[in-house]
């Protein structure tokens, strides 16, 4: 077996070799530490080999440099950051951050939404009590008119047993709105229902519906616009989203830094 002999490089070759040696610094540290010397030697051998013309060698080495740099850096990134333990830990932390953020949104959202029912609970209770004591629906209505589409004020409506409105403090676009029959059915069975009602697009109401007995049996509905509450809930959502993104960013940076400082280290091979 004949192996090419090591020859003294001519001046242009020495310059080319120095340039190649500089380019080897672009490789990842571990790879460079292990292979820079034999790679430089292989390049020197190729320069010294008359069978390899410069015209073909230089473009080949440049192409190889670009391709292998991409490959070795990809391999280094994979070895450093795609270790199963690291990825698993990162994913677990990301799931925890997501659950925490959902809780950060979900708990205040429920508190705000349930709190939006408070005046209606009292209003519907008072109206139902008056009707059961024999006061006529018209007389039992609180004073003042409420435009349901635009006002934030609570309002009450009285319905008969069939769900037909018989007296109302508020109107929507000039008429008295009626909730779906299922709401009355539920209130009939359970005494009370507290649905979120959308009588038309752009109008969402927090309502409390009670069954009424006595002289004027039927139902009373107390409602209030959810506009303000929805804005607060949206604000909570925005804050939870920012917190989630911040936590994910922190986990990414922390995991990346941990992966970098605990990356596999190569020892120089002789």
**List of residues contacting other proteins (CB under 8 A):** 1, 3-4, 6, 27, 31, 34-35, 37-43, 45-46, 49, 51, 60-61, 63-65, 67-69, 71-72, 75, 269-270
Residue nearer to other proteins on the CB measure, 43 or 219: 43
Residue nearer to other proteins on the CB measure, 74 or 175: 74
**27 token code pair:** 């490789």
CB 233, min distance to other proteins, A = 54
Answer positive or negative: Cα dihedral of 137, 140, 141, 143: positive
Residue nearer to other proteins on the CB measure, 3 or 265: 3
Residue nearer to other proteins on the CB measure, 22 or 269: 269
Question: DSSP 3-state helix, strand, coil percentages of the chain (rounded to 5)?
Answer: 60, 15, 25
CB 19, min distance to other proteins, A = 14
In terms of phi and psi (left: phi > 0; alpha: psi -120 to 50; beta: otherwise), the region of 206 is beta
CB 8, min distance to other proteins, A = 14
Helix, coil or strand: residue 1: coil
Pairing of strands 170-171, 146-147: parallel
Burial of 190 (0-12, 13-18, 19+ CB in 10 A): exposed
CB 34, min distance to other proteins, A = 7
CB 267, min distance to other proteins, A = 13
Residue nearer to other proteins on the CB measure, 67 or 161: 67
Cα 163 to chain centroid distance, Å, stands at 42
């Amino acid at each position: 077996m004949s192996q090419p002999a090591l020859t003294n490089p001519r001046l242009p070759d020495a310059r080319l070799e120095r340039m190649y040696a500089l380019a080897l610094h672009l490789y990842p540290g571990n790879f460079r530490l292990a292979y820079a010397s034999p790679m430089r030697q292989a390049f020197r051998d190729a320069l010294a080999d008359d069978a390899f013309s410069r015209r073909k060698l230089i473009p080949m080495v440049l192409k190889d440099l670009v391709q292998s740099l991409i490959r070795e850096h990809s391999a280094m990134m994979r070895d450093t950051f795609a270790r199963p333990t690291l990825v698993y830990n990162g994913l677990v932390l990301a799931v925890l951050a997501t659950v925490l953020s959902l809780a950060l949104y979900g708990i205040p959202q429920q508190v705000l939404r349930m709190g939006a029912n408070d005046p209606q609970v009292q209003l519907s209770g008072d109206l139902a009590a008056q009707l059961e004591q024999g006061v006529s629906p018209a007389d039992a209505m609180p004073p003042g008119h409420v435009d349901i589409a635009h006002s934030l004020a609570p309002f009450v409506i009285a319905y008969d047993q069939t769900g037909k409105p018989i007296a109302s403090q508020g109107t929507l676009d000039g008429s008295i709105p009626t909730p779906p029959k299922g709401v009355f059915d539920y209130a009939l069975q359970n005494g009370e229902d507290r649905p979120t009602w959308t009588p038309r697009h752009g109008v969402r109401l927090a309502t409390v519906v009670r069954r009424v007995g006595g002289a004027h049996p039927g139902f009373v509905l107390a409602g209030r616009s959810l506009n303000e509450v929805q804005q607060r809930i949206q604000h909570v959502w925005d804050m939870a989203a920012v917190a989630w993104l911040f936590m994910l960013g922190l986990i990414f940076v922390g995991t990346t830094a941990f992966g970098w400082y605990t990356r596999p280290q190569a020892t120089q091979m002789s």
